[in-house]
Amino acid sequence: MKYLCTFTGSGDSARRLSRLRPVRPVFAFTPTEQVSSQLALAWGIIPVLAQPAPHTDEMTAQVDRMLFEAGLVEPDDTVVITAGSPAGQAGTTNLLRVHRVGDLSDAGGRLEGRKTRESIGPWPA
């Protein structure tokens, strides 16, 4: 596993992970600039401003796209994603997904044709 990723509106999920002092970096995806600034002070947290994702499948696609575009992951790297459903409600973290970068088949097929790493790319040859 390369990274822990969490989607948080209030920052609480990321702060809870931070308290555990994980060995791996924690990327906290949040749509709120204020929360992002607060999380920058938490141990081991790398805040990422992201668009709100109404569904956990779209959150998974955001992790793939944003980490790949930043050059932090390669195809087939493993990341762990935590999120809540329904999205956008505080205190609903109830999802833990072990995800292989580039494989959106674990996103339930709800991403309208974006199920393969080729559709997210460009992936290196």
Residue 97 above 80 pLDDT?
Answer: yes
- The predicted model scores a pTM of 0.78
Phi, psi of 99 (to 5 degrees): -120, 135
Residue 107 above 70 pLDDT?
Answer: no
Instruction: Give the tens place of pLDDT for each residue, 60-96.
Output: 899 989 999 899 999 889 999 988 766 566 666 778 8
Boundaries of every domain in the chain: 10-39+49-120
Nearest alpha carbon to residue 82 among 63, 109, 102: 63
Pair of tokens at residue 65: 């796209």
Class of domain 10-39+49-120: alpha beta
